Amino acid sequence: MDSIRITPADDRYTVRAALLHTPGPRVLLILPWDVEKGWEHPLDYEVVFRAAQERGLEVAWVIDDLGRRPLARAAGFPLFASEEAAQAYLARKGAFPPLRVPRRPARPRRPWWAEEPQRPKPPRLKRQPLWLMILEAGVASVVLLTLLYAAFLLWPSASIVLVPQSMTFSRVVPVSVDPELKEVDLQRGLIPARRVGDEFETYVEVGTSGRGFSLSGRAVGQVLFTNLLGQDYRVPAGTVVRTTSGSYPVRFATTQEVIIPAFGQVMASIEALEEGPSGNVDPYQINLIEGVVGFAARVTNPEATQGAKSTAVATVAETDRERAWNLAVQKIMAEAYNGLQDAAYLQPGEFLPHQDLIIQATPKQAYTHMVGEQTPILGLSLRLLVTGQAVNVAHVQAVAYRQLAAQLPEGYRIQDARFEYGEAAEEDVGPGLFTFYVTTHGLAAANINAEDVISLIKGKPIKEAPALLMETFPLAQPPQIAVKPDWFPYIPFLPIRITVEVVPASW
């Protein structure tokens, strides 16, 4: 046995739906005291009764309210005082009492003293006079002719498709920007603007173009010492010898200790004290000994010294700094143009002319090397405050469209327009802060009035209508005319039954 407890939110339809989806063969419906509203009309129980009959269910009620029990009993349901009583009955009998279909009240009998009802006799039809029949026939004929004429006028319909002649034309329109302006001045071609800006940073590197020299290596060679004394003389390593010719002497030092025999000679290795090609001297240029050794010996170099080099290297020139600056500025301006297009800077419908960007300040400028410093690469870290004037697309197009419309030929109307935003003028050509050019392309079509088309061809034969339209209106191709029904030979006489479609021109 399945039990369904009715809540205050349930009504006859929710209980009916629950019965229709109950899987069991018998259901006990419980209506407690707390359900104060509803279940007070016989229809509530009749709806549930029909659902139980549709499913073939055994349904019984447990109703706490004594005033509602007669309604359920009258609908044909068995009643129990409680749920326990229903279970006990089911344990004894194995099933609920069957549902009782309520009997309909019998039709009351006619009392013996009532008289039999008499049916009215049909009236006799009198034959109408001949003149009246003729009159009615005439009226019917007039009505029929009127209906036929109305059908002749209202039934046919026509649809006409026209393709007007079209043309394209262009005009370059200068648009000036005035940030102080509040509204668009179409007469002067001036539009307002709003300044936006932010800081942008970049790093660039350029190859250096300056040239310098790098001294590398020390010149080496040998000198010949001659002893002026009558005894052996020791020349220690590091003894300095030098040239005497020229404005700047070149100094060398011995790299080994040698002993000169009495009134004899000995060779010793030397190395220049400074790097660079100045240490490469010709033979017999070294002829002076510094220090006490110079009082005991003489020196010369039979052969030239060699080994020192001077290498050309790249250095930073002033033009390199200018190139790095220009490259960094170009890169920042490109990044600023793309960055300022973001929604964080521009309002809906605005754009930023590229040539309008200006540098307001240079918060940071740092080169990696100074002018004249040896390096193949010069780097520059640059930060700029870049600003521009944001303009509204609708304002720009309004100015350009007005100039384009002034060039429109007579008898044509603009159907579409396209706009290309060009560069700003380098010279001062407009009344505003700056001026940029907008190339406006217009698509115009011949102006064809649908009412004029209908007035011209209504009631005309279909065969004559195309030629008449081609002669009267500037059409790009013959018109398409469709009349329903197909056998009707004329354009409808009523304008409301004629539809005219003018196909828009295309690029």
Per-residue model confidence (pLDDT) at position 160 = 95
Contact 404, 173 (CB under 8 A): yes
Question: Which contiguous run of DSSP H or E holds residue 471?
Answer: helix 465-472
Q: What is the pLDDT along the chain (507 residues), one digit of tens a residue?
A: 888 888 888 888 888 888 888 887 888 889 888 887 888 888 888 888 888 888 888 889 888 888 888 888 888 889 888 888 888 888 888 888 887 776 665 666 767 676 666 667 776 767 778 888 888 888 888 888 888 877 777 789 999 999 999 999 899 999 999 999 999 999 999 999 999 999 999 999 999 988 876 656 789 999 999 999 999 999 999 999 999 876 689 999 999 999 999 999 999 999 999 888 888 899 999 999 999 999 999 999 999 998 877 667 789 999 999 999 999 999 999 999 889 888 889 999 998 886 678 898 999 999 999 998 889 999 999 999 999 999 999 999 999 999 999 888 888 999 899 999 887 776 667 788 888 889 999 999 999 999 999 999 999 999 999 999 999 999 999 999 999 998 889 999 889 899 999 998 888
| CA 362 – CA 200 distance, rounded (Å) | 10
| pLDDT single digits (tens) 224-254 | 999 999 999 999 999 999 998 766 899 999 9
Burial label, 6 (beta-carbon count in 10 A; 0-12, 13-18, 19+): buried
Mean pLDDT of the chain: 88
Per-residue model confidence (pLDDT) at position 104 = 60
| pLDDT single digits (tens) 38-59 | 888 888 888 888 888 888 888 8
Per-residue model confidence (pLDDT) at position 243 = 93
Per-residue model confidence (pLDDT) at position 410 = 87
Per-residue model confidence (pLDDT) at position 507 = 83
Phi then psi dihedrals of residue 236, to 5 deg: -70, 155
Q: Tokens 């019917």 identify what position?
A: 140
Give the residues across from 417 on adjacent strands: 442
**C-alpha dihedral sign at 453, 454, 460, 463:** positive
Per-residue model confidence (pLDDT) at position 465 = 93
User: Count of CB atoms within 10 A of residue 262's CB?
Assistant: 11
Helix and strand totals (H; E) in the chain: 9, 25
- Report residue 449 CA to chain centroid gap: 39
Question: Which contiguous run of DSSP H or E holds residue 465?
Answer: helix 465-472
Per-residue model confidence (pLDDT) at position 361 = 92
Q: What is the DSSP string of 118-140?
A: PPPPPPPPPPPPHHHHHHHHHHH
End-to-end CA distance of the chain: 79
Per-residue model confidence (pLDDT) at position 331 = 93
* Angle at 103 (CA atoms; ends 100, 109), nearest 5 degrees: 165
Q: Tokens 């009035």 identify what position?
A: 449
The pTM of this model reads: 0.48
* Angle at 156 (CA atoms; ends 152, 161), nearest 5 degrees: 150
Say whether 325 sits in a helix, a strand or coil.
helix
Phi then psi dihedrals of residue 353, to 5 deg: -60, 130
* Domains, the chain, with CATH or none: 2-93 (3.30.750), 155-211+314-507 (no CATH), 218-307 (2.40.30.10)
| pLDDT single digits (tens) 174-228 | 999 999 999 999 999 999 999 999 999 999 999 998 887 665 678 999 999 999 9
| CA 481 – CA 406 distance, rounded (Å) | 35
